[in-house]
Amino acid sequence: MGKKNIEIKGIRDGILVEISSGDWKKREKELLDHIKNNKQFFKGGRLALDVGSHKLKTDRLASLRNALSDQNITLWAVKSSSLVTERTAQNLGLSIRIQQSTAEQQGEFPSSTIEGEEAVFVQRTLRSGHKIKHVGHVIILGDVNPGAEIVAGGNIIVWGRLRGTVHAGAKGDEEAVVCALQLSPTQLRIADKISISPAEDRKVEPEIAQLKDGQVIARNWNSRSG
Amino acid sequence: MAAKVITITSGKGGVGKTTATANIGAALAKGGHTVACIDADIGLRNLDVVMGLENRIVYDLVDAVEGRCRLKQAMIKDKHIPGLFLIPSAQTRDKNAVSPTDMIRLCDELRSEMDYILIDSPAGIERGFRNALAPADEVIVVTNPEVSAVRDADRIIGIIEAEEKGPAKLLINRLNPEMVRHKNMISADDVVDLLAIQLIGIIPEDKNVIISTNTGVPVATDGKSLAGEAYRNVSLRLQGNTVPFMDLSKGSGLFGLISNVFGTGE
């Protein structure tokens, strides 16, 4: 074997371990054995994993995290080319982006995407502590609770109650909009403008928020066409 | 008889996890079940105090995990209720003394002998909470009708879902019907509306709870206390019974035991 199955690199945020493809159970054992043999090096460390194309469900990733935690190692990020794994990592509250250099960062959040092309669709309630960051549009089927956060390069559409913090047009797009069945966010940002919901009880009706003359304006969805 | 492991957690501290564990445990044991209550809050133990068993501790959870005693030796029999046991936590160690795997192993050892194993989780979302969550078959999230507690409950529920231990059940503690009526407290309806999980009980604010905590006799064994009644209802619902929720909105909340506020709960 020319390339090692497990590659260990130092990055700004701690240690990055790259795991090659193949049988996950084997790779996991190799990693844990390696850590056991190099206890001093890993002890108390923050670990990021690049698992490549491994498809990991919650039980596998959680058991690895627990095993690492037993060794006093904090798993904080999992990078993967598999959407399943990315979603699992997000569900477990792990980061899915590992900052290596500014160049790579820009690559992950390009400023020149065509509007309305890319979107993520999330069908569940976003609870406090959940965060969704996407270069394109974000569509949520469910509620966005206080303490949850959405940052989108494009528009944000919530088919449910929006009570968390949202940032549409995060890359500076002033045309971005936020709409929700009930629009009462903790904080709403469009491009570089920040607004908060009025204190009084709002009517429960679909609304759309957008920038008008540099101010965030929310309007009833029905009156929009008129 | 394989026990059901129920973890009681909250995210925020001070909302009544320990009181809930002691009372649900007492109510289940009163109903004829064998119940082990495990205090997983290593370093800050107090389930033993609430259950009035502090002076009987010889061995604790960490002793059992590290093999200094047999699990049986760490189990303390309740003074009043047969079938109720406590496994106290260690006061002089910290959360890292136990791992999630240890907790699973420990509960598996107990499963054959108990009907219920209740785990009193520490506050927070770190190691101690992971320890308490690992062996759970079911999770009860305790919250107070306060914005900060509800926010933390929401966070915890998200993590429980991600760990595939959900859906969690909700216990609203220290609801003051008087304050809700004057719109000075969030109503149970609003809490359930936000958290969107099944409600297992509403415990009204009751000074008997504080008295019982001090005397070490769970309020669930007090036939006259409203909170005690509410805890007994929780234990019945855990056993799969449909019990209507007490109507706390009428009068000063004394004997307004009219059925159904939030549906059947099932």
Q: Say if the Cβ atoms of A66 and B99 lie within 8 Å.
A: yes
Give me Rg for the CA atoms of chain A. Answer: 21
Q: Is A70 on the interface with B (CB under 8 A)?
A: yes
Mutation test of the interface with chain A: which of B150, B194, B197, choosing the one with the most A Cβ atoms within 10 A?
Answer: B194
Q: Say if the Cβ atoms of B101 and A62 lie within 8 Å.
A: no
- The count of C-alpha atoms lying within 13 angstroms of the C-alpha of A131, restricted to the half-sphere facing its C-beta, is 9
Per-residue pLDDT of B84-102, as tens digits, reads 999 999 988 888 899 999 9
Q: Respond yes or no on whether ipTM tops 0.90.
A: no
Check pLDDT > 80 for residue B251: no
Q: CA-nearest residue of chain B to A91?
A: B162
Q: What is the 3-state secondary structure (H, E, C) of chain A?
A: CCCCCEEEEEECCEEEEEECCCCHHHHHHHHHHHHHHCHHHHCCCEEEEECCCCCCCHHHHHHHHHHHHHCCCEEEEEECCCHHHHHHHHHCCCECCCCCCHHHHHHHCCCCCCCCCCEEEECCCECCCCEEEECCEEEEECCECCCCEEEECCCEEEEEEECCEEEECCCCCCCCCEEEEEECCCEEEECCEEECCCCCCCCCCCEEEEEECCEEEEEECHHHCC
CA B148/CA A1 separation, integer angstroms: 54
Q: What is the 3-state secondary structure (H, E, C) of chain B?
A: CCCEEEEEECCCCCCCHHHHHHHHHHHHHHCCCCEEEEECCCCCCCHHHHCCCHHHCCCCHHHHHCCCCCHHHHCEECCCCCCEEEECCCCCCCHHHCCHHHHHHHHHHHHCCCCEEEEECCCCCCHHHHHHHCCCCEEEEEECCCHHHHHHHHHHHHHHHHCCCCCCEEEEEEECHHHHHCCCCCCHHHHHHHHCCEEEEEEECCHHHHHHHHHCCCHHHCCCCHHHHHHHHHHHHHCCCCCCCCCCCCCCCCCCCCCCCCCCCC
Residue B249 included in any domain: no
Per-residue pLDDT of A77-124, as tens digits, reads 888 888 888 888 888 878 887 765 444 444 455 555 444 468 899 998
Per-residue pLDDT of A168-213, as tens digits, reads 999 999 999 999 999 999 999 999 999 988 876 667 889 999 999 9
Residue B260 included in any domain: no
Range with lowest mean pLDDT among A20-24, A153-157, B178-182: A20-24
Report strand pairing: A46-50 vs A119-122.
Answer: unpaired
Check pLDDT > 70 for residue A3: no
Domain count of the fold of chain B: 1
- Minimal CA separation from A92 to chain B, in Å: 5
Phi, psi of A209 (to 5 degrees): -115, 135
pLDDT score recorded for residue A102: 41
Stretch 69-128 of chain B: residues touching chain A, C-beta under 8 Å: 96, 99-101, 127
Other beta carbons within 10 Å of A36: 10
- What B156-159 contacts at long range (C-beta under 8 Å, 24+ apart), as own/partner pairs, is B156/B9, B156/B10, B156/B11, B156/B125, B156/B129, B157/A127, B157/B195, B157/B197, B158/A93, B158/A127, B158/A128, B158/A129, B158/A130, B159/A93, B159/A129, B159/B125, B159/B133
pLDDT score recorded for residue B53: 94
pLDDT score recorded for residue A192: 92
Per-residue pLDDT of A52-84, as tens digits, reads 888 888 888 888 888 888 888 888 888 888 888
- Minimal CA separation from B172 to chain A, in Å: 18
Check pLDDT > 60 for residue B173: yes
Residue B253 included in any domain: no
Domain span holding position B173: 4-238
Say which of A58, A66, A128 has its CB closest to residue B162: A58
Q: CA-nearest residue of chain A to B131?
A: A66
**Is B42 buried (19+), middle (13-18) or exposed (0-12) by CB count in 10 A?**
buried
Residue B24 included in any domain: yes
A-chain residues near B170 (CB < 8 A): none
Residue B160 included in any domain: yes
Domain boundaries A110-224, CATH class? mainly beta
CB-based contacts of B135, cutoff 8 Å, min separation 6: B5, B7, B100, B103, B104, B106, B107, B108, B117, B119
* pLDDT cut 70: percent of chain B above it: 93
Read off the pLDDT band of B14 (50, 70, 90).
very high
Q: Is A197 on the interface with B (CB under 8 A)?
A: no
Residue B259 included in any domain: no
Q: Say if the Cβ atoms of A70 and B101 lie within 8 Å.
A: yes
Residue B255 included in any domain: no
pLDDT score recorded for residue A160: 95
Stretch 130-159 of chain A: residues touching chain B, C-beta under 8 Å: 130, 143, 145-147
Say which of B101, B134, B154 has its CB closest to residue A127: B154
Check pLDDT > 60 for residue A45: yes
pLDDT, mean over chain A: 84
Q: Is A120 on the interface with B (CB under 8 A)?
A: no
Separation in Å, CA B55 to CA B17, B84, B247: 22, 17, 39
Q: Say if the Cβ atoms of B196 and A143 lie within 8 Å.
A: yes
Q: Where are the domains of chain A?
A: 6-104, 110-224
Per-residue pLDDT of B198-244, as tens digits, reads 999 999 999 999 999 889 999 999 888 999 999 999 999 999 999 99
Residue B224 included in any domain: yes
Per-residue pLDDT of A125-181, as tens digits, reads 999 989 999 999 999 999 999 999 999 999 999 999 999 999 999 999 999 999 999
Say which of A91, A92, A125 has its CB closest to residue B196: A125
Both tokens of A141, joined, read 């089927």
Q: Is B249 on the interface with A (CB under 8 A)?
A: no
Say which of B134, B151, B196 has its CB closest to residue A147: B151
Nearest C-alpha neighbor of B5 from the set B33, B38, B29 = B38
CA dihedral A155, B195, B192, A140 (to 10 degrees): 20
Mean pLDDT of B106-121: 96
CATH of the domain at B64: 3.40.50.300
What fold characterizes domain A6-104? Alpha-Beta Plaits (3.30.70)
Q: Is B40 on the interface with A (CB under 8 A)?
A: no
Per-residue pLDDT of B255-266, as tens digits, reads 444 433 443 333
Nearest C-alpha neighbor of B198 from the set B151, B150, B237, B246 = B237
Q: Say if the Cβ atoms of B162 and A129 lie within 8 Å.
A: no
